[in-house]
């Protein structure tokens, strides 16, 4: 069958352009909506299982991180390794909001404070990040109840499955000296980077 010709020129008529369906804009809009929903879902999954931003609520970790700083929290590595002494962790279960402190005692560790110095298993365990002030282990009022075993006025052994946490700003930190240890199930993840404000950028 011969191709149709143009009656004026006698040449083969150009092929008719493909006709765009009248609802193509609806398909484009639907595709954009699906992409947007997938992006939102991915962001939620990342925050829930991989990395979550966290705002520092108190000055208890100064000068390592300051009140109002924002950090990234790694929520995946503790599925593959244990909590380490010195880790900065975010946890729940000790107040209305999650808290951020440093792990100073692991399960089975024996802790005591003598002359404003923390000892773990008989060795000085203060870290270079502790804010150095006179009486660094004399908390502001009200102090911990010295009758409680976790006040560290006497040797205290961290129970199995629990962690002893303290703020680097030892004179202004509501931590395990007041309310005891943190369960492993309460630890949400490890803070690893300060991302805001920009002049505070650093790893933890």
Name the residues annotated as catalytic.
Answer: 60, 101
Strands 110-114 and 117-120: antiparallel
DSSP H or E run through 49: helix 24-49
Select from 105, 129, 86, 100 the least CA-distant residue to 180: 105
Phi-psi region of 20 (alpha: psi -120 to 50; beta: other; left: phi over 0): beta
Residue 14 near residue 40 (C-beta atoms within 8 A): no
Beta strands in 58-186 (DSSP E): 70-74, 88-91, 99-105, 110-114, 117-120, 123-124, 156-157, 162-166, 182-183
Residue 101 near residue 107 (C-beta atoms within 8 A): no
């Amino acid at each position: 069958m011969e191709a149709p010709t143009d009656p004026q020129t006698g040449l083969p008529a150009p092929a008719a352009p493909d006709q765009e369906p009248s609802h193509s804009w609806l398909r484009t809009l639907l595709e954009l909506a699906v992409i947007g929903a997938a992006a939102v879902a991915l962001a939620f999954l990342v925050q829930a299982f991989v990395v979550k931003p966290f705002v520092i609520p108190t000055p208890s970790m100064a000068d390592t991180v300051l009140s109002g700083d924002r950090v990234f929290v790694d929520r995946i590595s503790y599925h593959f390794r244990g909590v380490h002494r010195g880790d900065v962790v975010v946890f729940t279960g000790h107040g209305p909001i999650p808290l951020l402190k440093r792990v100073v005692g692991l399960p089975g560790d024996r802790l005591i404070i003598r002359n404003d110095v923390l000892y773990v298993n008989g060795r000085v365990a203060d870290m270079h990040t502790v804010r150095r002030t006179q009486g660094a282990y004399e908390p502001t009022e009200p102090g911990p109840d010295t009758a409680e075993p976790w006040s560290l006025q006497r040797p205290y052994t961290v129970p199995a499955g629990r962690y002893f946490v303290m703020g680097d700003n030892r004179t202004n930190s509501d931590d395990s000296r007041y309310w005891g240890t943190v369960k492993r199930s309460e630890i949400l993840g490890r803070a690893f980077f300060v991302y805001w404000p920009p002049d505070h950028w650093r790893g933890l």
